Amino acid sequence: MNKTKKILALALCFVMCFCFLAGCGGSSGGNDTLVVGYAPFNSKFSQFFSETAYDEDVWKMTALSLLPTDRQGAVLLNSKDGEVVSYNGTDYTYNGLANCEITEKKDGSVVYDFTLRDDVKFSDGEPVTVDDVIFSMYAFADPTYSGTTTFFALPIKGLAEYRAGVESRAKLILATKREGYKENEYFTQEQYDAYWIAFDEGGAAFAQSIADYCISAGYNEEGDSVAKCAANWGFTLKDDATAADFFAEIVKKYGYDMAAIDGEKASDGIGTFIDTALGDKADEINAGVQTGKSADNIEGIEKTGDNSLRVTLTKVDAAAIYQLAVYVAPLHYYGDKAMYDYDNNKFGFTKGDLSSIKAKTTKPLGAGPYKFVKYESGTVRFEANENYFLGEPKVKYMNFLETQETDKLNGITTGTIDITDPAFSADTVKAIQKANGGELNGDKIQVSTVNNLGYGYIGINSKNVIVGNDRGSEASKNLRKAFATVFAAYRNVAIDSYYGEAASIINYPISDTSWAAPQTTDDGYKVAFSQDVKGKDIYTSDMKAEDRYAAALKAALGYFEAAGYTVKDGKITAAPKGAKMEYEAMIPADGTGDHPTFMVFSESSKALEKIGMKLLVRDLANGSELWDKLEAGQVDIWAAAWGATPDPDMYQVYFSGMNGMKAGGSNYHYEINDMKLNKLILDARASFDTTYRKSVYKACLDIIVDWAVEVPVYQRQNAIVFNPQKINMDTVTPDITTFYNWYSEIEKLEMK
């Protein structure tokens, strides 16, 4: 090699070394930026339009919600001036933007009165007012809103009318002012007549209630006539006037204006009385019909003061508060202040045109602890909000860095990131212990584990795994229970090997994070599918694993027999009509068996083979194939996981579409068809009493388990990992839970 080439090679080496050195200075140092390892973002950083959990976390950093949530997932109603709630033996104070008073009315409607603080500002200095809240709500309620939030599905009074030119029949009939029936597309002559009959009847009862009230309140004495009572109410009647006459007077005074008439009410409104009079027809008459004209405002949302507003819901919905406590979006940023005029039904944007909000999707702004600076080079940059109402955050800058799962732990140890959330499996645990030199919580890495909001399960579709035609028959249930019993027996070994300590077995189809989840110490707590067809427990506490499997298999055989299968020599030989000798289980395990429940299926398949039932295990490399097939109703048995909501409402998944009622959106998974369950679900929804709800939900869970459409498998834990060498661990949110995360008190976090 001649001289010039040698020199060239050396020069190249120098160039590369220089590059190394050039960067050496920049990487470490800098105590005022916190770096959090996240996953790729879709840039939909808007409370209105975000779709992934990661985008959500980004805008949540910049936003403030009306009401805070405590460590157990409950919405706090009195935190305006600080509310103290005890958790795990410690009293914690929560500070929120507003207070909320919930009042249940006799007519079934619920009123939410919000009172805001007057000293909170957005990060650009503009004050947070009730106008911003109203603006946010109208944005969510807009007919063209296409985001994932389902605010618009809340039973807010007047919302349907605002959204879709929907008017209730009753209103339309009332609007005719009793001038006679004219042929139209909204109601029939029959309905028209029925309404007015009920109107009169209800009206009379309404008037009577006024009279009764006068007596009970002491304005009149017992036995006084209607006229006398009416006199005390401001109406002059003939002495022998009846309640109906009284009512006629009222109508004369106000016309056919329900709201005005209600001004006279003593107890319930006129609407309630009419509904009572309508009886069975109430639903039909009150049903909404499309008229094409929509209302200009939402009746149920009213500004009641400079710092307060009132939202009225037409029925009790325990979960509604989660949706009502919106994250307040600034009117001046997402909308147009000039277009806001509450009294004239202008709410900051043109109804039906959310373009001004959409335009800001990638750049959120709010009253939260941090300001969004930019999203560039795979990093979201935040700057502390000096106007934050709980004080400017101690850490001036924060970066959310897009990170690959495999890099998360190494990122912490090399100092590239300070906080992250790796998937918590047995391997992760080992890796953390290795980095720390033996323990899970050490000098290099600190771990905080919370239960995942959701759980893993095995689903059995009741329409496909069925005997004959009736999915709710005992035979069908027994068939499913046969499978369920075998699956349940192998849960322990499968989850142990996949998750190790990082997950636990659950026995009811509900996440352990929910307050409604049955605890092992509760009465009536049973291990799932641990009984045979006669109701006897099949496991004893001294059984070894092999014995347990054998016991489960024996019980399964019993169930098969009860379902109608022919059993000979300990094997099933023939299936009853409608059932099969072979079923298929699908599991999205990447084609490599990489799924916590995979072992359950493979072992169960082998076991079932012994008694003559064939269970084909299909490993889908493409996960979305499972969902396609589920939608098409082509799946027998499958494994998946549910994400849960803080409220344990079961409508979505278990409410069956029967008797004209619409099924829950995800009911097609299990195809449960149980009237009793439906009723229980509705009951639980309609109450605010958590004790009552918990007992109702327990009853629901028992029914669901009895249907054997779901075998609850595992509740896993999520981990948040910190670098204690960069972060002052004393300043991290104490007692992190599923609902109260490390960033819930981000303003207090300090770096070393």
Contact in structure between 538 and 547 (CB atoms under 8 Å)? no
**How many CA atoms does the CB half-sphere of 626 hold within 13 Å?**
24
Residues 6 or more apart whose CB falls under 8 angstroms from that of 684 comprise 318, 649, 650, 692, 693, 696, 697, 700
Residue carrying the six token digits 């006679």:
180
Q: Could you tell me whether strands 90-94 and 571-574 are parallel, antiparallel, or unpaired per DSSP bridges?
A: unpaired
Query: For other proteins, which is the closer residue by CB, 65 or 79?
Result: 65
CB of 26 to other proteins, least distance (A): 5
The token duo for 692 is: 């009552």
Query: For other proteins, which is the closer residue by CB, 7 or 581?
Result: 7
Q: What amino acid occupies position 393?
A: P
Burial (CB count within 10 angstroms: exposed 0-12, middle 13-18, buried 19+), residue 315: middle
Select from 401, 395, 394, 399 the least CA-distant residue to 382: 399
CB of 374 to other proteins, least distance (A): 9
User: DSSP assignment, residue 79?
Assistant: -
CB of 44 to other proteins, least distance (A): 5
CB of 634 to other proteins, least distance (A): 15
Go through 722-751 and write b for each residue having 16 or more CB atoms within 10 A of its CB, e for each that does not.
Answer: bbbebbeeebbbeebbbbbbbbbbbbbbeb
Q: Residue 697 CB: number of other CB atoms within 10 A? A: 25
Query: For other proteins, which is the closer residue by CB, 23 or 125?
Result: 23
Select from 672, 605, 701, 595 the least CA-distant residue to 639: 595
CB of 36 to other proteins, least distance (A): 10
Query: For other proteins, which is the closer residue by CB, 402 or 561?
Result: 402
CB of 408 to other proteins, least distance (A): 10
Query: For other proteins, which is the closer residue by CB, 413 or 531?
Result: 413
Q: Give the largest CA-CA distance in the chain.
A: 128
Q: Could you tell me whether strands 33-38 and 419-420 are parallel, antiparallel, or unpaired per DSSP bridges?
A: parallel
d(CA 423, CA 409): 10
CB of 571 to other proteins, least distance (A): 39
CB of 260 to other proteins, least distance (A): 33
Residues 6 or more apart whose CB falls under 8 angstroms from that of 25 comprise none
Query: For other proteins, which is the closer residue by CB, 219 or 375?
Result: 375
d(CA 434, CA 305): 59
The token duo for 126 is: 């503009």
Query: For other proteins, which is the closer residue by CB, 339 or 435?
Result: 435
Query: For other proteins, which is the closer residue by CB, 40 or 82?
Result: 40
CB of 499 to other proteins, least distance (A): 24
CB of 298 to other proteins, least distance (A): 17
Contact in structure between 113 and 289 (CB atoms under 8 Å)? no
d(CA 551, CA 88): 40
Query: For other proteins, which is the closer residue by CB, 52 or 242?
Result: 52
CB of 328 to other proteins, least distance (A): 21
CB of 639 to other proteins, least distance (A): 17
Query: For other proteins, which is the closer residue by CB, 24 or 338?
Result: 24
Contact in structure between 308 and 322 (CB atoms under 8 Å)? no
Q: Residue 413 CB: number of other CB atoms within 10 A? A: 17
Return left, alpha or beta for 82; rule: phi > 0 is left, psi -120 to 50 is alpha, else beta. left
Residue ranges binding other proteins (CB under 8 A): 1-2, 5, 8, 12, 16, 19-20, 22-27, 29-30, 33-35, 40, 42-44, 51, 146, 148, 150, 153-154, 319, 361-362, 373, 376-379, 381, 397, 399, 401-404, 407, 410-411, 413-416, 622, 624-625, 627-628, 631, 643, 645, 649, 651-652, 665-666
Query: For other proteins, which is the closer residue by CB, 455 or 549?
Result: 455
Contact in structure between 596 and 713 (CB atoms under 8 Å)? yes
Query: For other proteins, which is the closer residue by CB, 404 or 728?
Result: 404
Q: In 164-285, which ranges are E strands?
A: 166-168
CB of 688 to other proteins, least distance (A): 18
Query: For other proteins, which is the closer residue by CB, 315 or 554?
Result: 315
Give Cα separations from 68 to 80, 125, 168, 249, 350 (angstroms): 10, 22, 35, 48, 30
Contact in structure between 145 and 139 (CB atoms under 8 Å)? yes
Query: For other proteins, which is the closer residue by CB, 146 or 592?
Result: 146
CB of 22 to other proteins, least distance (A): 5
Q: What amino acid occupies position 24?
A: C
Give Cα separations from 695 to 358, 528, 654, 692, 700 (angstroms): 44, 18, 17, 5, 9
CB of 665 to other proteins, least distance (A): 5
